[in-house]
């Protein structure tokens, strides 16, 4: 009989490695708020965020229904780290006080970053981020309310992307609608430490399928354009 190859453990956190997102929102007084987070995932043109229910970002999303997801790259690690223990909430929640958070009204200045106006939403982009995703809230609801291991109240936020801003140096040389993964080096948070992606390991069979397969609306636009040209 073979010896077991895995151990059953109970880790305190499940940060297996996700991109760092700087969520830009608008405060009640109209000022810009910027919050780093890494509990995010995408499917199609939709995104799901997992947020602390007491955060200023959560409150802003509930009130305005709009945000910009600014994706940080590896070169922004110092700026992101300057935001790590700051909160836009004037009344710092007790659990954040215990972690060493302090209130900061001007997150952009504190991080040394530049606010940039969005196009479709009233929320700030980060000029230094190579990827900026404008989005609107589709749904918000409590998350993990029945999980006894969840230490603080959390919520999940479903967003729909409306506009994607990308630095040209990230685009594939043969397709200006495609991100070249060899040029994109996202800042990754893994078990509260900063990492990034390395070199490509090998060719992917999944990637042999054209990306256009996942974007049927683009095929419709091409057909319409062809008909107009004719």
Domains along the sequence of the chain with CATH: 18-204 (2.30.110.10)
DSSP output for 54-120: TSHHHHHHHHH-EEEEEE-BGGGHHHHHHHTTEES-SS--HHHHHHT-EE-S-HHHHHT--EEE-SS
Q: Which two tokens stand for residue 114?
A: 């530049």
82, 110 Cβ separation under 8 angstroms: yes
**How many other β-carbons are positioned within 10 Å of the β-carbon of residue 207?**
9
Q: Which residue has the tokens 């140096």?
A: 169
**Residues 15-20: what's their mean pLDDT?**
80
Long-range contacts formed by 179-186: CB under 8 A, 24+ apart = 184/73, 184/130, 184/131, 185/73, 185/74, 185/75, 186/19, 186/20, 186/71, 186/72, 186/73, 186/74
Give the CA angle between residues 120, 114, 160 to the nearest 5°.
30
Q: Which two tokens stand for residue 224?
A: 């319409």
203-216: pLDDT as tens digits: 776 677 777 776 77
Instruction: Look at residue 4 and give its three-state secondary structure.
Output: coil
91-119: pLDDT as tens digits: 999 999 998 999 999 999 999 999 999 99
Give dist(CA 183, CA 169) in Å, integer.
Answer: 7
Give dist(CA 18, CA 127) in Å, integer.
Answer: 22
* Choice between 53 and 211, residue whose per-residue pLDDT is larger: 53
What pLDDT does 161 receive?
94
* Choice between 180 and 203, residue whose per-residue pLDDT is larger: 180
Residues 6+ apart with CB under 8 A from 64: 25, 26, 122, 123
> In the predicted model, is pLDDT for residue 230 greater than 70?
no
Residue 137's closest CA among 15, 23, 22? 23
What pLDDT does 228 receive?
59
Band of pLDDT at residue 154, cut at 50, 70 and 90 = very high
* Cα separations in angstroms, 145 against 10, 63, 142, 150, 193: 19, 22, 6, 8, 27
> In the predicted model, is pLDDT for residue 222 greater than 90?
no
């Amino acid at each position: 009989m073979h010896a077991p190859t895995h151990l059953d453990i109970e880790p305190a956190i499940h940060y297996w490695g996700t991109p760092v997102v700087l969520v830009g929102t608008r405060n009640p007084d109209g000022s810009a708020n910027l919050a780093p987070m890494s509990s995010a995932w995408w499917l199609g043109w939709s995104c799901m965020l997992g947020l602390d229910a007491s955060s200023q970002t959560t409150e802003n999303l509930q009130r305005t229904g709009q945000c910009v997801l600014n994706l940080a790259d590896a070169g922004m690690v110092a700026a992101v780290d300057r935001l790590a223990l700051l909160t836009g909430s004037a009344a710092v929640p007790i659990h954040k006080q215990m972690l060493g958070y302090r209130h900061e009204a001007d997150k952009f200045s504190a991080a040394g970053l530049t606010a940039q106006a969005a196009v479709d939403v009233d929320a700030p982009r980060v000029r230094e981020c190579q990827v900026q995703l404008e989005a609107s809230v589709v749904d918000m609801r409590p998350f993990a309310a029945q999980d006894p291991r969840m230490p603080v109240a959390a919520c999940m936020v479903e967003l729909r992307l409306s506009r994607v801003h990308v630095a040209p140096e990230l685009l594939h040389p043969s397709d200006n609608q495609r991100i070249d993964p060899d040029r994109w080096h996202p800042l990754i948070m893994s078990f509260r430490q900063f990492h990034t992606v390395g070199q490509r390991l090998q060719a992917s069979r999944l990637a042999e399928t054209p990306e256009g397969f996942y974007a049927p609306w683009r095929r419709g636009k091409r057909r319409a354009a062809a008909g107009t040209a004719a």
